[in-house]
């Protein structure tokens, strides 16, 4: 089952502000959903097979 990935405005802003190496690492790993010290909060639209990336942040901050 293949899903399309979409990024919310907030997650896009995070990627634009982040170090380019971090941004590339996150984007390259998003298919595997493993991004090291960073976390992504993702909504899943099963009906349309879309992953919607809502928020990116460091592991210690994302759950607050």
pLDDT at site 40: 84
The residue range of the domain holding 31 is: 4-62
Q: Which residues in 16-54 are b (16+ Cβ under 10 Å) and which e? A: eebeeebeeebeeebeeeebeebbbebeeeeeeeebbbe
The pair of three-digit structure tokens given for residue 6, joined into one six-digit string: 């979409």
pLDDT at site 9: 93
Structural domains counted in the chain: 1
pLDDT averaged per 10 residues in sequence order, the chain, 64 residues: 82 92 86 75 87 88 80
Look up the CATH number of the domain holding residue 29: 3.30.2310.20
pLDDT at site 35: 67
The reported pTM is: 0.64
Cα–Cα distances (Å) from 16 to 11, 22, 46, 49, in that order, read: 9, 10, 28, 26
């Amino acid at each position: 089952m293949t899903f399309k990935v979409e990024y919310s405005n907030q997650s896009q802003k995070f990627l634009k502000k982040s170090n380019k190496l971090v941004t590339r690492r996150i984007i390259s790993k998003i298919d595997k959903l493993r991004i090291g010290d960073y976390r992504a909060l993702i909504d899943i639209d099963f009906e349309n097979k879309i992953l919607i990336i809502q928020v990116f942040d460091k592991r210690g901050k994302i759950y607050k």
